[in-house]
Amino acid sequence: MKEHIIFYSVVKKHFIELRRYFLNTLMTISGVFILFLLVFMGLRSFEAGTETLKGSIIGFAMWTFAVGAYSEMSWGLLQEARDGTLEQLYLTPSSFRRISGYRVFASFLFQFVLFIVFLIIMMVTTGQYLYLDPGIIVLVGLTLLSVYGIGYVMGGLSLVFKKVQAANQILMFMFILFLVLPTITDHKIIYFVPISWGNVLLNKMMVDGLSLFDLTLVEHAILILNSFAYLVLGLIVFRFMENIAKKRGLLGHY
């Protein structure tokens, strides 16, 4: 089977599920938006500054994007195992890691469109407008590579241990910490944790009005090294846990 057919099938399946379970998708988006309004109105009640309010829009949108990104691997694999289709995916002519990469790409397309739409709606609702330079596509993509790396780690753990929902919920709150970390410290730790440095650069572009080329080579290098380090680590852990699952015969059942 040619790779482009598998790629097309995986992407098509992703969007068919979103359309088929439209009510669930709509309710999820609505719930996230209501949560954002509560956070934003809370900040406004404390008379937060304009930069803080704009930063909250970016941070919340990135948090939503990050949760959706890593959940695609962890929750997605659990769902495949429950549906009984996980073993079938491993029997395809293409490797499962390649198929999972196609799933990640399909998820990114949907999440990015949602990210932009979500930003526009939040700006119109709150009256806090941001600079939407095309370069944010590159920054968001690079920032999320680290999140997908964590997603591969959680996906590998779910293959072996099956129930990892508690860890997923902890990660949801950890991502909030990573996003607000630059606002509470200027320590170099923000260079090493996921999405923190990417969020800093996004604020520079979307709040301060800088372009992608206004950022220094050092700033770009830190983001690239951070993101690819987490992605490579995630792939290594996933492959290790995948081999364990195969040896123990855990792929064929939940």
Complete DSSP assignment for 65-111 = HHHHHHHHHHHHHHHHHHHT-HHHHHTSSS-HHHHHHHHHHHHHHHH
Q: How far apart are CA 48 and CA 215, in angstroms?
A: 27
Query: Per-residue pLDDT tens for 174-209?
Result: 888 888 888 777 778 888 988 889 888 988 888 888
Q: Is residue 68 part of a domain?
A: yes
Q: Which helix (H) or strand (E) holds 190?
A: none
Specify the pLDDT at position 154.
Answer: 84
Q: How far apart are CA 122 and CA 140, in angstroms?
A: 18
Start-to-end CA span in the chain (Å) = 28
CA atoms within 13 A on the CB side of 64: 25
Complete DSSP assignment for 145-169 = HHHHHHHHHHHHHHHHHS--HHHHH
Indicate the burial class of 114 (C-beta count within 10 angstroms; 0-12, 13-18, 19 or more).
middle
Q: Is residue 254 part of a domain?
A: no
Q: How far apart are CA 243 and CA 238, in angstroms?
A: 9
Query: 62 lies in which domain range?
Result: 3-248
Q: Is residue 69 part of a domain?
A: yes
Query: Per-residue pLDDT tens for 203-232?
Result: 888 888 888 888 889 999 999 999 999 999
Q: Is residue 73 part of a domain?
A: yes
Q: Is residue 253 part of a domain?
A: no
With a cut of 90, say whether residue 160 has pLDDT above it. no
Q: Is residue 213 part of a domain?
A: yes
* Percent helix, percent strand, percent coil in the chain, to nearest 5: 80, 0, 20
The pTM of the whole model exceeds 0.85 = no
The domain tally of the chain equals 1
Query: Per-residue pLDDT tens for 10-60?
Result: 778 777 877 787 787 778 777 777 877 777 777 666 655 666 677 777 888
